[in-house]
Amino acid sequence: MKERSIRTTLVVVDLFAAVSAIVGAVGLLVGFMDVPLSELRGTPFADFTIPALLLGLVVGGSALAAATIALFGPRRIEALASAAAGCVMVGWMTVEIAMIGLDVWVQAAYFVVGLVMIGLAGLLWWARPRPVARPLAG
């Protein structure tokens, strides 16, 4: 894959992760997702406010920042930003599954989305042209 097509794919995946995390967070905050509070049994949370804010701001925000950096930011950090956002997604899903269990296929799917973000970031990093080292004159 060429660098440009990898970057485009990565931006699409980052934006998908960002939008779905932010929409999920809003859904939890305003209650249109209809997730029962019993899902939080055994966790330190009494309601979905803190998890929703973390989901929207940390998970969604990191993915949105990564997409923005890949589109408009310095090329030297775009892969790092997307890999970091992928790690945040994988970490979020790992903690969620550890706290409430693997309830729905969506949890596994978003775990994979995080891994795809990390993998595409690695591909983008490897696809970037590198300066050729010149031997020292001596």
Residues 26/49, Cβ–Cβ less than 8 Å:
no
Q: What sign for the dihedral angle of Cα 74, 76, 78, 84?
A: negative
Consecutive 10-residue averages of pLDDT for the chain (138 residues): 92 98 96 88 94 98 98 94 98 95 91 98 90 75
Q: Which two tokens stand for residue 93?
A: 């899903």
Cβ(88)–Cβ(62) under 8 Å?
A: yes
pTM, two decimals, is 0.89
- Residue 80 CB coordination number (10 Å): 14
Residue 49 burial (C-beta neighbours within 10 Å; 0-12, 13-18, 19+): exposed
